[in-house]
Structure formats: structure tokens, C-alpha cells
Amino acid sequence: MESDFDLESIAMADQDKKTGDFDLIQQRIKIKRQDYKRYKFTADQNNILKTFFDLVQEFDSLVEFYSIAVLILPQYMDVICRLYLKGDADNMQLVQASDMDPLISPQPAPVSVLQISQVTRQNHTLLLPIFLGSPNGIQEESSGVFEVVSSKEISRQVEFFLEKFSNRIAVSLTGKLAAHQNIKHIDFVNSLVTDIEHNVIIPNMYFKHLFNKLRKKIEDMGELEQQIRAMKGAMGMTGNESCQKIIDKVASLHKSLDDYHQEMEKHHKSSTLFIESLFRRDHFTRGELVLRTKKCVVCDEIIAPQLEHYERRLHRQGVVIEHPVDMRAEEIVLQVDVGLLAQVYANLFSNALKYTEAVAVDGSGKQRKALAYGREFVKDCYGPGVDGVKFNVFTTGPHISPADADSIFAEGYRGNNVGGQAGTGHGLSFIKQVVEIHGGWLGYEPVLHGNNFWFCLPLPEKEGDS
């Protein structure tokens, strides 16, 4: 049976920690071995811990966990156990007890267990604080209390054992609560994806219908303009200034509406592409980006639309777009996910809008503030006989520091050059994800006059190749 876990990906995600943790774990095992010899737990006490560990793995629900926590000790010792935990309102509640019928719902805790932050003796009763997420008791205030009521005085050795047992409860309960919270998050995300499909993606399609209707109205206005011009000539009003002003105003309005319509339609097309590629159910089901590839001419279908989307804003910032001369001369067809790769270029162009700066070209004082893009074939890029294509986006400005360059593709990382620019540090890490799941790799290089971001993608196998 094939495993549901991608062990290689999990291992790669933790690669930076491998060697350091290996040595640390060996040292911790030696310390634990010495500790257990020093504890001198009895056979029953060891069996209690093993029973607890086994049953916690066997039963999943929190209610079952509460029962396990209070029912094991009475099987081995003459004690009564009660487990108290803080609820949502931060009030202590009894969640399960060995001397009562199974609790259907939590009950208020007695005053005696409130504000317990250290091990406390009350006659033959031992109150042990539960520190969720920190079994060593680093927090000042506990998240719960484990109460043990004995028929006889509790020895120091038994007290020490019960402290260790309550620590096991804290550690296991922390994991259980985290797992249940993760399940709730997954259920919420799955429900959210359904809502997005129903309430965002499907209604978004209606905008296409509205754009078509708006296009028809704009065409009607163009026809109206022509009719007015024709009427003016037919009525011999060629010199009428008032009539000409009306025609000019209609013509100006027609052109403005046409321009706005085109810009809105391009923006909607781009947004729709991003929404549909980011909110695929497959992403959320698998817990990672899932490709939907097709054959695509990257320059025409991905780069050009995204660049057009940013063109006006770049020009307003004084950024000159330097187009390559050879991009369209030889079409390159790649098998890619158009929606995701389009967002790679959207992120690169968005960064260009934020960080492009003017630089001195030579000693004459001539300035260059530009964005350039291009691509080149890389022979044997993926091994002998397996070629690739290197795409790049260049912007003028100061070089990124070596320290920033080493971490620039890490999630959440923002370099020292960001200044007051808004951002999350997610854009370049997203680019890295998309390029790598396409089987490519990427990088940054300081070059003359500025910075170059590049990525390589494999060329598809030619028909007939094995």
C-alpha cells in the first residue's frame, strides 16, 4: 500500500536541522537513561506509564483521553483521581473523575483547586498543576489541575511519580488539543473552499456577462457619435460650434469608457485567473500547490498580459520597460500551469514597481530607471540532452546585500532595502514554490546597474523522444 506521506518532502523541509538534532537526541537519550535509573520507579509505576502511553495512542477523542487520565491510577493504587481544566472563559472546570459517573458536561471546580500553580498537599490529597504546552512548569499560571485523593498518606517517592505522571498528561493533552485544533482548521478550510467556489468564483463569472453588456453600450455610443456627425453634415451645420462641442464631448466620453472598459476587463481576466488557480480544491485537499498544466507560449500567454497589467503604473513611476528583441522571434512552448506561472511574473513586476531606482549609467550624469525581461536557452540544463529555458526580470537600483541575497526566497523574509514599502515577505517564497513544483530552480544575481531575478524551466520532451 502506498503511503499518504511524502517522506522525502518532509525530510527535505527539516534538512537544516538534521545533523544538530541527531547529536542532541543522542545526548538526551543518555540523560533519560540515567534519569530513569535514578527515579527507581516500581514495576506497577512503570506499568502505569506504559498503560497510559498505549491507551492514549489507541483512543482519539478528548473525552476518552480525560477518562484514561483519571481511571488508570485507581487500577493500581487506592486513590481517586479528578481532572480539572480551564474552559474558554478561563474558569476551572471538572472534566472527569474516577469516583463519579462519566461526566456529560464539565462542572464548576471547587475553590480548593483554583489558582494552583505548584504541587500542593491537602491532607491525603495531592493537587498537581497541568501546564499545557510547557510540562516543565515555566508558566506562572496553570491550565488545569490533576487531583489525586489517597486513602493513606502519600510518600515522597509516590509524589515524585505522580508529578511525572501529571507531566505525561500535560504533554499528551497538549498534542491532543493541537491535533483537534488542526482538524477543526482543516474542516474550516474545506468549508471555506466550498464557500469560495459558491460565493466568489461562480458569481465572478457574471462579471464577464456584465462586461459584454457594457461593451455593447459603448458600441452603441460609438454608433450614436457617427449618427450625430452624419446628421450635422446632412443638416448643413458643418460650421456650428455648439454642435461640434457636443460631438467632441460624446467622442471623448466614448473613448474614455472604451479605455476604462478595456482596463477593467484585463484586470478582471487577471484576477479571475489568479482566483481560480489559487483556490483550487486540490490545493487544500493535498495541502500543497497542485499543478494543472497545459502547453503554453509563455511570452504571449503569461508575460505580455501581466506586463500590460503593470505597464501604466510602471510608467507613472518613471520606469522604462525595455523589451527584448527576440522573445517573439522564436516561440517557446512549455508545459506549465498558466495561472500559477502568471502569478510568478505578477510578483516580479509588483516588486519592480516597488523597488526599481534610477542609477547613473556613466560619468556624464545620465540616469537609467528601467525594467527589462527576457529568456535564453540553456543547453543540458537538466543533464545531458535535457535543455531548459532561463527566464529573467531585471530592474535598475542598488544591489541587494549578500546577507539578504542568501535569505531572500525564505518565507516571511524582508531585506534591508524595503524601506517603507508594504509587504509580507511572501512573494518571492511563493515564486520559489511555483518554480520548484514545475521542476525548475531559481536565483538572484547582482548585475551591472541593478538586480536580476531568474528561474529555469525544463523544455518538454519532443514528440517521439522516450
At 328, the pLDDT band (50, 70, 90 cuts) reads low
The Cα–Cα gap between 356 and 398 comes to 9
| Per-residue pLDDT tens over the stretch 42-94 | 999 999 999 999 999 999 899 999 999 999 999 999 999 999 999 877 789 99
| Per-residue pLDDT tens over the stretch 357-396 | 999 987 777 899 999 999 988 888 888 888 899 999 999 9
Q: What domain range is 279 assigned to?
A: 200-283
Query: 347 and 381 share a domain?
Result: yes
Average pLDDT for residues 187-194, to the nearest whole number?
75
Query: 233 and 315 share a domain?
Result: no
| Per-residue pLDDT tens over the stretch 127-184 | 999 998 754 445 567 899 999 999 999 999 999 999 999 999 999 999 988 888 888 8
Query: pLDDT value at position 1?
Result: 37
The rounded mean pLDDT for the chain is: 84
Domain boundary pick from 150, 184, 218: 184
270 compared with 346, residue with greater pLDDT: 346
CA angle (208, 213, 219) in 5-degree steps: 125
Percent of the chain with pLDDT over 70: 87
Q: Which three cell numbers stand for residue 417?
A: 532595502
Query: 113 and 26 share a domain?
Result: yes
Lowest-pLDDT choice from 192-196, 321-325, 335-339, 350-354: 192-196
| Per-residue pLDDT tens over the stretch 208-222 | 778 888 888 888 888
At 422, the pLDDT band (50, 70, 90 cuts) reads low
Q: Tell me if 176 is assigned to some domain.
A: yes
Longest CA–CA span in the chain (Å) reads 118
228 compared with 240, residue with greater pLDDT: 228
Q: Tell me if 167 is assigned to some domain.
A: yes
Number of domains comprising the chain: 3
CATH number of the domain that residue 170 is part of:
3.30.450.40
Q: Tell me if 395 is assigned to some domain.
A: yes
Query: 295 and 279 share a domain?
Result: no
Query: 20 and 74 share a domain?
Result: yes
Query: Measuring CA to CA, which residue among 433, 428, 395 is closest to residue 409?
Result: 428
Lowest-pLDDT choice from 18-22, 244-248, 365-369, 377-381: 18-22
Residue 200 in this model has a pLDDT that exceeds 50: yes
Q: Tell me if 388 is assigned to some domain.
A: yes
Lowest-pLDDT choice from 116-125, 321-330, 394-403: 321-330
Query: Measuring CA to CA, which residue among 126, 116, 120, 119 is closest to residue 86?
Result: 116
Query: 452 and 316 share a domain?
Result: yes
Query: 325 and 261 share a domain?
Result: no
β-pairing, 370-378 vs 320-322, is parallel
Query: pLDDT value at position 135?
Result: 45
Query: 207 and 179 share a domain?
Result: no
Residue 198 in this model has a pLDDT that exceeds 80: no
Residue 462 in this model has a pLDDT that exceeds 60: yes
Q: Tell me if 8 is assigned to some domain.
A: no
The Cα–Cα gap between 27 and 453 comes to 43
Query: pLDDT value at position 282?
Result: 84
Domain boundary pick from 262, 283, 304: 283
Residue 35 in this model has a pLDDT that exceeds 80: yes
The Cα–Cα gap between 323 and 129 comes to 68
Residue 102 in this model has a pLDDT that exceeds 80: yes
Average pLDDT for residues 453-465, to the nearest whole number?
79
Query: 270 and 306 share a domain?
Result: no
CATH number of the domain that residue 300 is part of:
3.30.565.10
Domain boundary pick from 283, 313, 330: 283
Query: 271 and 316 share a domain?
Result: no
Q: Tell me if 279 is assigned to some domain.
A: yes
Q: Tell me if 9 is assigned to some domain.
A: no
Residue 6 in this model has a pLDDT that exceeds 60: no
Average pLDDT for residues 418-446, to the nearest whole number?
82
Query: 270 and 391 share a domain?
Result: no
Query: 148 and 180 share a domain?
Result: yes
Q: Residue 309 class from Cβ within 10 Å (0-12 exposed, 13-18 middle, 19+ buried)?
A: buried
Q: Tell me if 192 is assigned to some domain.
A: no
